[in-house]
Structure 1
Amino acid sequence: MNRFSYKDIYIEDGKRVLEINILPEKYCNFDCIFCPIGRSENKVDTQKSFEGMDSALRELDKIIEISKAELVFINSKGEAFVNDRIDDVIELIKSKGLPVRLLSNGYLLGKDEYKNIANKCDEVIGEIKVVTEEDFRKVQRPIEGYTLAEYISNMASFNKQYKGKFIFVITIIKGYNDDEESVKKLKDIIKEISPDKVIIERMEDERFKKKLGISDERFEEIKRSLGMVGN
């Protein structure tokens, strides 16, 4: 890994956001069938060393200065915790006086070593896509031994001690969590995790939208229903 990859600076709530990927390719503890990045050839939940990290960090230092970023969003190809220098990435950003937002699927937030890293960030994003153990194994294809119950519990326990802003992203998927019973379960999950902000999304990628997307009308109904809790 000689360098990180970046998205063009964009404005969010009046701030210049620099979005960064700190993985050379997809490394994740899940292998979701609908992942826009593709299959997880590297399905892991332990940290790995990548070559070229020192030069990548120097480049990040320069890009922060040149871009005049006001918030840095670590949004990687897979699970960012896998990079064993993620702590250094966060420390570099914080040394510039900038807030850090970290996207994690949320499963690893139950482990102390990752919890401590996430606690250094100003915002942490966790997510959920299905509401049954069967669907979790079938479509998110996690590492053997993972359970949906533990997934939810990990985010809930993390947020109870977290001092920053925890953002919970729910993706509505046709046939998996768009029925009334599933929406009720999602409400219960929101209450258990008690996030600072809830974002409701749906499948927008054209590769999956036809089969897994839901109608505008149903999407608005679900958003209204879920909007009554968690905010």
Structure 2
Amino acid sequence: MNNFSYKEIYIEDGKRVLEVDILPEKYCNFDCIFCPIGRTHNKVDVQQAFKEIDNSLKELDNMIENNEIDLVYINSKGEALLNSRINDIIDLIKSKGVSVRLLSNGYLLGKDEYMEIANKCDEVIGEIKVITEVDFQKVQRPIGGYTLEEYISNMALFNKQYEGKFIFEVTIIKGYNDDEESVEKIKDIIKKISPDEVIIARMEGEPFKKKLGISDERFEQISNLLLNV
């Protein structure tokens, strides 16, 4: 049994990238209504132990060795930091002289134990999708006690001490954050977090694209405003 899954190796800026999902199923501290993976039955924010991880690590080792990988992108269905062996996974990759990029929704990055793990990575991606507390609770359905203010503050706190490249992904969603007032709020959030790079995304894939997608023209307008903060 192997708990990891992989995408086809691809080239990015001349580097060979191996994208790996280190969760056997969705484990996340959110349960977003627009998650392309669907609902989670494992809404948690403490690390989980999975079987057969040693075999998975061996396969990852072989994948890196046999494919001349330059960067491993840990992009999981859920929150990758919840794998209790993520330290071992990152250490294995780094021992090969290969860079690590970690995707996290960003909420856990403000906690010391998770901050320490993420600090090992060369690149960390955090993200945001809605910008009001009501929408955060309604559509991202986080673990009880989570707040949008803390979510943003956690990423800002992490990036303040992080020595790698922090990438901040903003997803523009029709009816939630695509109006002028929302764009101004997003600008303020970007300034607070002060990332090294900003990525502007939008809802892709059906049925979300049809219901929550914005036009190409509006997407370009918002992107121009947010990429020049």
Give the % identical residues. 76
User: Unaligned 5+ residue runs, structure 1?
Assistant: none
Are 2:81 and 1:81 equivalent residues in the alignment? yes
Deviations 1:181-205 (A, max 9, x none): 0000000000000000000000111
Q: Distance in 2 between matches of 1:139 and 1:45?
A: 18
The AA in structure 2 aligned to 1:163 is E
Secondary structure, aligned partner of 1:160: helix
> Displacement of 1:67 after TM fit?
1.5
The AA in structure 2 aligned to 1:72 is V
> Displacement of 1:170 after TM fit?
0.2
**Aligned position for 2:21:** 21
Are 2:140 and 1:140 equivalent residues in the alignment? yes
TM-score normalised by structure 1 residue count: 0.98
Q: Distance in 1 between matches of 2:192 and 2:150?
A: 12
Q: Distance in 1 between matches of 2:166 and 2:129?
A: 17
Contact 2:173 2:213 in 1 (8 A): yes
Q: Distance in 1 between matches of 2:227 and 2:56?
A: 40
Contact 1:29 1:143 in 2 (8 A): yes
**Aligned position for 1:2:** 2
Contact 2:106 2:126 in 1 (8 A): yes
Secondary structure, aligned partner of 1:206: coil
Secondary structure, aligned partner of 2:207: helix
Q: Distance in 2 between matches of 1:19 and 1:110?
A: 25
Q: Distance in 2 between matches of 1:81 and 1:226?
A: 28
Secondary structure, aligned partner of 2:185: helix
Query: What pairs with 1:188-203 in structure 2 (closer than 5 Å)?
Result: 188-203=188-203
Contact 1:177 1:183 in 2 (8 A): yes
Superposition RMSD on alpha carbons, in Å? Answer: 0.7
Contact 2:101 2:122 in 1 (8 A): yes
User: Unaligned 5+ residue runs, structure 2?
Assistant: none
Contact 1:79 1:105 in 2 (8 A): yes
**Aligned position for 2:43:** 43
Contact 1:3 1:59 in 2 (8 A): no
Q: Distance in 1 between matches of 2:3 and 2:145?
A: 33
Q: Distance in 2 between matches of 1:205 and 1:165?
A: 28
Report how many residues are paired: 229
The AA in structure 2 aligned to 1:224 is N
Q: Distance in 2 between matches of 1:66 and 1:26?
A: 28
Q: Distance in 1 between matches of 2:3 and 2:149?
A: 37
TM-score normalised by structure 2 residue count: 0.99
Deviations 1:85-128 (A, max 9, x none): 00000000000001100000000001000000000000000000
> Displacement of 1:2 after TM fit?
2.7
Runs of 4+ that moved beyond 6 A: none
